Copies of this chain bind each other. A is one copy, B any other.
Amino acid sequence: MSSPSLATQRIGIVGLGLMGGSLALALRGRCRSIVAIEPQPSVRQEALRAGIVTEATDEPAAGVAEVDLLVFATPVRTTVDLLGRLPALRPDGCLVTDLGSTKAVVVAAMDALPSTFAAIGGHPMCGKETSGLASADGDLYRDRTCVFCRSLRTTPAAEASVLALVAAVGARPVFLPAAEHDALVAAVSHLPYAAAAALMRLVTDEAAWEISASGFRDVSRLAGSDTRMILDILMTNRPAILVALRDYQAELAALTVLLEGGDEPQLSEWVAASRVRHAAYRRHLSARAPGEEGERVTDQG
């Protein structure tokens, strides 16, 4: 399969929510055409009106018919379902990637595609606590990490194509096996969601909100994440998330014991060790992408 340059490609985006809409905005003018496959008429109309995509349809068969590269920007289980239907919709095959939050189930579905397809899983490490096309932002992917997970259908052409895509949107590619990706994001993304959501479920007192400050706002932010996206994450990465959740509760239980006992030297050590690790993490961020540490916070709006 050839790897035409991005400028000559027709790109299909399945799902014009936050991620798909932001991708379309970032690619505008950088490819031949963008066709959206989106079930909601109002979203299709808005995307066409605003010139975010070239064409829009609710018919998957029509949408995928002539694309060079098809990008799934749907919740993980929707992507898996559609990948199962794809050979019937597009018998001659095409390049396929996705933007989903867990990768093992998506890569397994890609493995099952016929060899007319070339496919690689993708996961841009960015988002907002608001969802939908109205929240889309052409800079969402800029300077962000995008993880790619190879499938049995990954070809050099597929890799070249998604590398051209991340270069166009300003992201930074990282390659990881799907299982490793899923274990890491359980700790660094899915557990933080659970920590935020549990806090938000607990602190429902308006008197508490009234005196709350940026600490509460930031720790609770991920509780606003899209429900369907989160549910698919939870249901497709259960074992890894359970490990992270149990370890997290053990950390909190250890703190509780120290606090019950009023054990000041041990409490001091607990607090100091956490602070040391936070400092190391911030140094890591600075080294990874100078300037990113003080990055614009697109996700506070």
Q: Which B residues are in CB contact (< 8 Å) with A210? A: 145, 174, 284, 288
A209-B256 CB under 8 A given contacts A189-B216, A300-B295 = no
Stretch in A5-13, A44-52, A112-120, A266-274 touching the partner = A266-274
Q: Which of A213-258 contact B (CB under 8 A)?
A: 213-225, 227, 230-231, 234-235, 238, 241-242, 244-249, 251-253, 255-256
Known contacts A214-B297, A275-B223; is-contact A199 B203 (Cβ 8 Å): no
Q: Does A168 contact B (CB under 8 A)?
A: no
**A301, B223: Cα distance in complex, Å:** 23
Contact yes or no, B126 A214, CB < 8 A: yes
Task: Tell me whether B188 and A212 are in contact (CB under 8 A).
Answer: yes
- Docked-complex contact A231 and B267, CB < 8 angstroms: yes
Query: In the docked arrangement, what's the CA distance between A234 and B277, Å?
Result: 20
A64 within 8 A of B: no
Q: A163-176 interface mask toward B, CB cutoff 8 Å, 1 = contact, 0 = none?
A: 00000000000101
Q: Are A294 and B300 in contact (CB under 8 A)?
A: yes
Q: How far is the CA of A241 from the CA of B181 in the complex (A)?
A: 35
Interface size class of A (residues with CB under 8 A): 35 or more
B245 touching A256 by the CB < 8 A rule?
A: yes
Contact mask for chain A residues 127-158; partner B; CB cutoff 8 A; 1 contact, 0 none: 10100000000000000110100000000000
User: Is A196's CB within 8 Å of the partner chain B?
Assistant: yes
In the assembly, what is the distance between CA of A204 and CA of B248, in Å? 13
Q: Does A278 contact B (CB under 8 A)?
A: yes
A215 touches B247 (CB 8 A): no
Contacts of A219 in B (CB 8 A): 192, 195-196, 218-219, 221-222
A binding-site residues for B, Cβ under 8 Å: 125-127, 129, 144-145, 147, 174, 176, 180-181, 184-185, 187-189, 191-225, 227, 230-231, 234-235, 238, 241-242, 244-249, 251-253, 255-256, 259-260, 262, 264, 267-268, 270-275, 277-279, 281-282, 284-285, 288, 293-295, 297-301
> What are the 7 A-B residue pairs with the smallest beta carbon separation, nearest first?
A197-B274, A198-B251, A125-B213, A223-B278, A192-B219, A218-B218, A224-B278
Ordered by A's residue number, 10 sampled pairs between the chains whose C-beta atoms are within 8 Å are A145-B213, A187-B203, A188-B211, A189-B215, A218-B218, A218-B222, A227-B272, A234-B267, A242-B260, A245-B259
